[in-house]
């Protein structure tokens, strides 16, 4: 018998969705049975079972980020549906198309407080652009089609809830009758271009600028050539938002990398001095790092109209796809012959690169300088590498020291900044692109959350990959270091009871799973360990014993921030001595001295 579940699987394949991430349970049991039949019939899909529903959600979101396709997560009712939420919010916050297929208890049990029965539509209402329970076989077609179409159109997560007693019903194709919608497959291209008069208005603003700054986000992925062509015409500098890091190659001399706490000094200076701002495909959530109100004329390009003029008052708002809009805008732009602004940015970036290299080579007081680990990784990245970074200080080092080449990919949890996401992100990247080398960078606290479970999933599948390179770098510093630094910035000492991460030998754990585990115990080990990891014939876990007290201070640290850190240290911070020594060695000595003098009333 051809069931509702059989139909839903076939319909997703018809929509060109071929990668499914899931975790089974009795609330989705009928659907799991249909997956087995579909696999036995050699249908065009791949199902990967994670070790936890939170991993399912984050892998589905990451799949959308890395491929541009709709990510699919399949979970059971009750607790499974709840565990999925973090991945859905990750997709919602970072504007990624995702469809969740979620089980539910039988229709007659709804509202009765039955086992694992909760109001899923109410629960998902805040995060899903569309959420609907399938009530009858005829209903399934419209619900699935609309969920996929809405996910693609709005680049947001949607949820299809299928009660257990509907999953195994005989499928009925909708016919013509009252209340019955008959839907179809297909979605129009999102290559949306603004009208000519709006393009001319935007060009007038940009052509008049003498100091043009471009802020480029993930919405410009696939538009690298157009972004560079605009920058060349305008003599502009380019800043990439963290999620847009891969849009502009790292070797472009006027690409100043990121902005804000994870950014560079040239990026900060560019925003302080520009007279014109062009934002492309970015919803940068930190408006305090954008130009002052009235300082710069603004043009913004975004496929999501609700993001236009949201962070900065723009003069011209262009609703459109980055690639086609920039291509249509280019003929209206005038070649800027004066290159003094762009050259200043290039010189600033040269200085910044020298500073970050000196910071990386500085000796750390208690373990390896984590900057050195990322600096040496950056030197060795294969041209088609995929790099994922976790939230916390890992993201700081990723932002400061990793420069992605034109054919590389890189990503992390953006607006949600979810700990542990680097591992499911890396796994999704590898399953989508088994031929690419993948490097996951993650802290020990995040790895202990669910990263260890992720390795168990890899154990089952890694021999299927055409390229075995999958490296997990664990920053083993026994500290939730980002939060420790945030406590210091707030003027409080580090609280050891909450911040300490229990130690273990991660390399040995990797070996028990059949992987290669390598300890990185001293600065002298760093280059050798990276070379060994890239040469390995299987996945590798690098257990890097890094110093938690190397400060991830922003390039533009304010006097108030520095004063707060010094104030915290006077409150008997457990790492006071190491923080001061590491801070000085990280080319921040003058900042600490400045704060110290001010704090004690000296000039």
pLDDT in tens, 202-256: 999 999 999 999 999 999 999 999 999 999 999 999 999 999 999 999 999 999 9
pLDDT given for residue 89 in this prediction: 98
Q: Which has more pLDDT, 583 or 536?
A: 536
* Average pLDDT of the residues of the chain: 92
Q: What mean pLDDT is predicted for residues 543-567?
A: 74
Q: What mean pLDDT is predicted for residues 162-191?
A: 88
Q: What mean pLDDT is predicted for residues 47-56?
A: 97
pLDDT tens, residue by residue, 107-119: 877 777 787 889 9
pLDDT given for residue 603 in this prediction: 31
Are the C-beta atoms of 222 and 323 separated by less than 8 Å?
A: yes
Beta bridge partners of 475: 443, 544
Length of the chain: 603
In which element (H, E) is residue 131 found?
Answer: strand 130-133
Q: How far apart are CA 178 and CA 479, in angstroms?
A: 62
Q: How far apart are CA 327 and CA 500, in angstroms?
A: 52
Q: How far apart are CA 168 and CA 268, in angstroms?
A: 58
In which element (H, E) is residue 5 found?
Answer: helix 4-14
444 Cβ neighbours under 8 A, 6+ residues apart: 474, 475, 476, 477, 478, 501, 503, 506
Largest interatomic CA distance in the chain = 84
Q: What mean pLDDT is predicted for residues 461-466?
A: 97
Short-list 75, 79, 92, 84, CA closest to 28? 75
pLDDT given for residue 598 in this prediction: 33
Are the C-beta atoms of 427 and 457 separated by less than 8 Å?
A: yes
Q: b/e string for 1-11 if b means 16 or more Cβ within 10 A?
A: eebbbbbbbbb
Encoding tokens for residue 594? 């400045």
pLDDT given for residue 214 in this prediction: 99
In angstroms, the first-to-last Cα distance of the chain is 84
pLDDT tens, residue by residue, 477-516: 988 888 888 888 788 888 888 898 899 999 999 999 999 9
What superfamily would CATH give domain 368-555? Answer: Thiamin diphosphate (ThDP)-binding fold, Pyr/PP domains (3.40.50.970)
**The dihedral sign for the CA sequence 173, 175, 179, 185:** positive
Q: Model confidence at 554, in pLDDT bands (50, 70, 90)?
A: confident
pLDDT tens, residue by residue, 334-393: 999 999 999 999 999 999 999 999 999 999 988 999 999 999 999 999 999 999 999 999
Classify residue 289 as exposed, middle or buried by CB count within 10 Å of its CB (0-12, 13-18, 19+).
buried
Encoding tokens for residue 574? 């457990």
218 Cβ neighbours under 8 A, 6+ residues apart: 65, 94, 95, 241, 243, 244, 247, 281, 282, 414
| Cα distances (angstroms) measured from residue 467 to each of 65, 212, 389, 452, 462 | 21, 42, 21, 22, 9
Q: What mean pLDDT is predicted for residues 186-194?
A: 84
pLDDT given for residue 597 in this prediction: 34
pLDDT given for residue 586 in this prediction: 54
- 157-163 β-sheet, strand order: 46-49, 19-22, 71-75, 98-104, 157-163, 130-133
| Cα distances (angstroms) measured from residue 425 to each of 388, 422, 445 | 7, 5, 17
Q: For the domain made up of 4-167, give the CATH fold.
A: Rossmann fold (3.40.50)
Classify residue 477 as exposed, middle or buried by CB count within 10 Å of its CB (0-12, 13-18, 19+).
buried
Q: How far apart are CA 474 and CA 174, in angstroms?
A: 52
Query: Angle at Cα 20 formed by Cα 14 and Cα 26, nearest 5°?
Result: 110
Short-list 236, 243, 327, CA closest to 281? 243
Q: How far apart are CA 103 and CA 257, in angstroms?
A: 43
pLDDT tens, residue by residue, 117-161: 899 999 999 999 999 999 999 999 999 999 999 999 999 999 999
Q: How far apart are CA 40 and CA 37, in angstroms?
A: 5
Q: How far apart are CA 132 and CA 126, in angstroms?
A: 13
556 has a pLDDT exceeding 70: no
| Cα distances (angstroms) measured from residue 6 to each of 17, 141, 174, 476 | 15, 12, 16, 46
175 Cβ neighbours under 8 A, 6+ residues apart: 182
Q: How far apart are CA 380 and CA 527, in angstroms?
A: 9
DSSP per position, 335-390: P----HHHHHHHHHHHHHHHHHHHHHHSPPSSSB-HHHHHHHHHHH--TT-EEEE-
In the chain, where are the structural domains located?
Answer: 4-167, 196-348, 368-555
Q: Do domains 4-167 and 368-555 have the same CATH topology?
A: yes
pLDDT tens, residue by residue, 84-94: 999 999 999 99
What superfamily would CATH give domain 196-348? Answer: TPP-binding domain (3.40.50.1220)
Q: How far apart are CA 230 and CA 333, in angstroms?
A: 8
Q: Model confidence at 579, in pLDDT bands (50, 70, 90)?
A: low
Query: Angle at Cα 65 formed by Cα 60 and Cα 69, nearest 5°?
Result: 70
| Cα distances (angstroms) measured from residue 340 to each of 210, 235, 236, 390 | 9, 8, 10, 37
């Amino acid at each position: 018998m051809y069931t509702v579940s059989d139909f839903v699987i076939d319909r997703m394949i018809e929509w060109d969705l071929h990668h499914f991430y899931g975790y089974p349970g009795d609330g989705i049991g009928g659907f799991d049975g249909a997956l087995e039949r579909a696999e036995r019939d050699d249908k065009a899909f791949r199902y990967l079972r994670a070790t936890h529903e939170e991993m399912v959600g984050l892998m589905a979101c990451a799949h959308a980020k890395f491929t541009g396709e709709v990510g699919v997560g399949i979970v059971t009712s009750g607790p499974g549906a709840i565990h999925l939420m973090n991945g859905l919010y990750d997709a919602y916050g970072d504007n990624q198309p995702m469809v969740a297929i979620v089980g539910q208890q039988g229709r007659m049990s709804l509202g009765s407080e039955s086992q694992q029965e909760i109001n899923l539509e109410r629960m998902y209402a805040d995060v899903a652009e569309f959420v609907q329970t399938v009530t009858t076989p005829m209903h399934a077609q419209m619900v699935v089609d609309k969920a996929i179409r809405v996910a693609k159109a709005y680049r947001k997560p949607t949820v299809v809830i299928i009660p257990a007693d509907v999953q195994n019903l005989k499928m009925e194709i909708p016919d013509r009758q009252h209340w019955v919608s008959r839907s179809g497959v297909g979605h129009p291209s999102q290559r949306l271009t603004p009208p000519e008069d709006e393009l001319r208005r935007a060009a007038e603003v940009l052509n008049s600028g003498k100091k043009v700054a471009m802020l480029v986000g993930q919405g410009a992925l696939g538009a690298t050539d157009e972004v560079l062509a605009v920058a060349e015409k305008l003599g502009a500098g380019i800043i990439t938002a963290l999620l847009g890091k891969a849009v502009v190659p790292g070797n472009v001399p006027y690409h100043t990398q990121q902005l804000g706490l994870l950014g560079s000094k040239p990026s900060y200076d560019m925003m302080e001095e520009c007279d014109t701002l062009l934002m492309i495909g970015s919803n940068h959530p930190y408006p305090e790092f954008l130009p002052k109100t009235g300082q710069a004329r603004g043009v913004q390009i975004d496929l999501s109209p609700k993001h236009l003029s949201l962070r900065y008052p723009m003069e011209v708002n262009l609703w459109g796809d980055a690639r086609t809009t920039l291509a249509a805008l280019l003929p209206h732009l005038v070649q800027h012959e004066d290159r003094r602004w762009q050259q200043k940015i290039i010189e600033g970036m040269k200085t910044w690169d020298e500073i970050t290299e000196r910071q990386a080579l500085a000796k750390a007081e208690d373990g390896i300088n984590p900057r050195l680990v990322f600096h040496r990784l950056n030197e060795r990245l294969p041209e088609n590498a995929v790099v994922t970074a976790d939230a916390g200080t890992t993201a700081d080092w990723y932002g400061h020291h990793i420069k992605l080449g034109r054919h590389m990919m890189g990503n992390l949890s953006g607006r949600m900044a979810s700990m542990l996401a680097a591992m499911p992100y890396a796994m999704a990247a590898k399953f989508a692109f088994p031929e690419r080398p993948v490097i996951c960078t993650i802290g020990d606290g995040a790895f202990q959350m669910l990263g260890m479970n992720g390795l168990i999933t890899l154990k089952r599948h890694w021999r299927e990959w055409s390229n075995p390179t999958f490296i997990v770098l664990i920053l083993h510093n026994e500290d939730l270091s980002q939060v420790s630094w945030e406590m210091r910035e707030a003027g409080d000492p580090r609280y050891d009871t909450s911040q300490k991460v229990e130690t273990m030998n991660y390399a040995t754990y990797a070996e028990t799973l059949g992987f290669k585990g390598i300890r990185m115990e001293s600065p002298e080990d760093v280059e050798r360990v990276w070379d060994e990891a890239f040469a390995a014939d299987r996945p590798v876990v690098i257990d890097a014993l890094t110093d938690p007290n190397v400060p991830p201070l922003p390039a533009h640290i304010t006097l108030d921030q520095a004063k707060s850190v010094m104030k915290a240290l006077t409150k008997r911070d457990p790492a006071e001595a190491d923080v001061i020594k590491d801070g000085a060695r990280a080319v921040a000595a003058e900042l600490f001295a400045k704060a110290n003098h001010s704090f004690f009333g000296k000039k």
